[in-house]
């Protein structure tokens, strides 16, 4: 497959990719780079990457596959930094949660002869940093590629790579990806952030009550709302149109439910909840409801 892989950014996704690559014995050498010396020190201490480099250019030199694992807002600067050092024929991919903005940020800086295939593993936790990764993160999860005109043989190779990490792989257009993710991930995160903020602001309910009587719905919201602030700031700034569109529809539905509650319209509420229950059943049948199997505590080490 790829002999040398470079991971740029060493957080949750990169470290999980590293452990998953080790589990599958992919690549002869995996190099890594993170901008802070603290993260690089942790990576060296826990054996994350075969070689941790002090510059991004050093990490990518001679690499066959380069994976950009930094927040979306950092993709442009990172690509500028590495572009001169990419070897002809190398494949650059990324794991960003938004695709059109990443294409716009990365593609203009890549030299001729380097292949760019954007990607997004639909797998994550609310944890971040080099210690949070684990080999099973991608197992049975989708990884979406938005190839943007890349060569078929290179796409096939990257597909095989993600499958070896445990993923199921699909391809779609970048704009469609951003709309789908606005529905399935971005707007739900915004709602969780909002609800946890509401509980925090509500002076009639004490903090202790929120913590002690945290029931399933709210507890799930708090887990989601604990996700990395930088990553999610960048998601909303870079998937503005799709998120605003879905948020508009959400608000309309919310007002309809609000009216049904005020008017005592039980039929409306029951119909709505029956429809949503069927969606949940569909997710279970598709095997996409499993929680994180091994919450970053026990990476597969070689
Ligand atoms: P993370 O654990 O917070 O790690 C981010 C890494 O990027 C760190 O190594 C950090 O370096 C580096 N970084 C941060 N800001 C940077 C900057 N301005 N310039 C250069 N490097 C920078 O993040 P993650 O969860 O792995 O997310 C990485 C990417 O994966 C994001 O694009 C995100 O959209 C995508 N993604 C995340 C999830 C998820 O659930 N977390 C799921 C799918 C895709 P330092 O440690 O030195 O600060």
Å from CA of 69 to ligand 1 middle: 6
The enclosing domain of 281 has a CATH number of 1.10.3660.10
Å from CA of 71 to ligand 1 middle: 5
Q: Which of these three, 172, 201, 224, is where a domain ends?
A: 172
pLDDT at residue 300 tops 80: no
Same domain, 123 and 191: no
Sign of CA dihedral 78, 80, 85, 88: positive
Tens digit of each residue's pLDDT (9 = 90 or more) over 119-132 = 999 999 999 999 99
Cβ–ligand 1 distance for 32 under 6 Å, the answer: no
Same domain, 30 and 104: yes
Å from CA of 145 to ligand 1 middle: 19
Same domain, 166 and 53: yes
Cβ–ligand 1 distance for 124 under 6 Å, the answer: yes
Q: Is residue 292 part of a domain?
A: no
Cβ–ligand 1 distance for 144 under 6 Å, the answer: no
How much is the mean pLDDT over the chain?
92
Q: What is the pTM of this model?
A: 0.92
Q: Which of these three, 150, 172, 194, is where a domain ends?
A: 172
Torsion of the alpha carbons at 287, 292, 294 and 299, rounded to the nearest 10: 100
| Mean pLDDT of all residues in 243-258 | 96
Q: Whose CA is nearest to atom 38 of ligand 1?
A: 124
CB neighbours of residue 178 within 10 Å:
26
Inter-residue contact 63 to 93 (CB < 8 Å): no
Q: Is residue 28 part of a domain?
A: yes
Same domain, 16 and 129: yes
DSSP code, position 62: T
Cβ–ligand 1 distance for 169 under 6 Å, the answer: no
Q: Residue 49 is part of which domain span?
A: 4-172
Query: Of residues 297 and 42, which shows the higher confidence score?
Result: 42
Cβ–ligand 1 distance for 143 under 6 Å, the answer: no
Q: How many domains does the chain have?
A: 2
Same domain, 160 and 180: no
Å from CA of 117 to ligand 1 middle: 18
* Residue-by-residue DSSP string for 40-61: HHHHHHHT-SSEE-SSHHHHHT
């Amino acid at each position: 497959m790829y002999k040398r892989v470079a991971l740029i950014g060493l957080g949750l996704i990169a470290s999980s990719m590293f452990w998953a690559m080790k589990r599958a014995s992919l690549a002869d050498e995996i190099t890594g780079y993170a901008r802070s010396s603290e993260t690089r020190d942790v990576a060296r201490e826990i054996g994350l990457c075969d070689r941790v480099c002090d510059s991004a250019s050093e990490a990518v030199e001679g690499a066959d596959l380069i994976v950009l694992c930094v927040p979306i807002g950092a993709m442009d600067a990172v690509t500028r930094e590495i572009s001169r050092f990419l070897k002809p024929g190398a494949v650059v991919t990324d794991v960003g949660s938004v695709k059109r903005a990443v294409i716009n940020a990365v593609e203009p800086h890549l030299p001729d002869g380097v292949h760019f295939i954007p990607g997004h593993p639909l797998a994550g936790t609310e944890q971040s940093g080099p210690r949070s990764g684990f080999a099973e993160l991608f197992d049975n999860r989708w990884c979406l590629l938005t190839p943007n005109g890349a060569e078929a043989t290179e796409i096939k190779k990257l597909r095989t790579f993600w499958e070896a990490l445990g993923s199921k792989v699909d391809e779609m257009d970048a704009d469609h990806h951003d709309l789908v993710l606005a529905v399935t991930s971005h707007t739900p995160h915004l709602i969780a952030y909002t609800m946890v903020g509401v509980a925090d602001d509500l002076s009639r309910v004490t903090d202790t009550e929120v913590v002690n009587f945290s029931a399933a719905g709210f507890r799930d919201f708090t887990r989601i709302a604990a996700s990395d602030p930088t990553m999610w700031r960048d998601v909303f700034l870079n998937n503005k149109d799709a998120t605003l569109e879905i948020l508009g529809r959400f608000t309309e539905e919310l007002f309809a439910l609000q009216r049904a509650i005020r008017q005592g319209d039980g039929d409306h509420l029951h119909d709505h909840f029956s429809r949503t229950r069927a969606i949940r059943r569909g997710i279970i049948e598709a095997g996409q409801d499993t929680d994180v199997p091994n919450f970053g505590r026990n990476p597969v080490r070689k």
